[in-house]
Amino acid sequence: MVATNPIAQGAPVSYQPAEGEAYMGDAQRTYFRQVLQDWKQSLLDEVSRTVNHMRDESSAFPDPNDRATQEEEFSLELRTRDRERKLLKKINEALAQIESGDYGYCEACGVEIGLPRMQARPTATLCIDCKMLEEIREKQG
């Protein structure tokens, strides 16, 4: 199972900015840092669980069908962990952006990405307009 966005899962309550609060001020950065760290820990826990599961279940089945089923399950788990490895990289990059003060700003045009988008996808690096343009370019080849 792929670990999804902890905010979408309801892990921490979504951030509600105070009236007049500056975008990506200390409180917001602290909130997103915690969300990203919790998400990262959840993914790392899944890696440990997978390693233990594969070690415990790695017995050779005499029946070829059972062996094939186990190999397919392991293959699926490893593909999932590979996707999560890529997500961990994005989480680490987002944590670095928080430290540098660049978090929450579009890396293409520099505008605020916005709290709703950051809460939906804490690893977002593009504003919605730049993301849509990128997707259009990808479709055009």
Cα separation of 108 and 25, whole Å? 21
Is 130 within any annotated ligand binding site? yes
N-to-C CA span, the chain = 31
Is 97 within any annotated ligand binding site? no
Is 6 within any annotated ligand binding site? no
Is 23 within any annotated ligand binding site? no
Which 3 state secondary structure label does DSSP give 112? strand
DSSP codes, 54-81: HHHT-PPPSSHHHHHHHHHHHHHHHHHH
Binding residues for Zn(2+), as ranges, are 106, 109, 127, 130
Binding residues, as ranges, are 106, 109, 127, 130
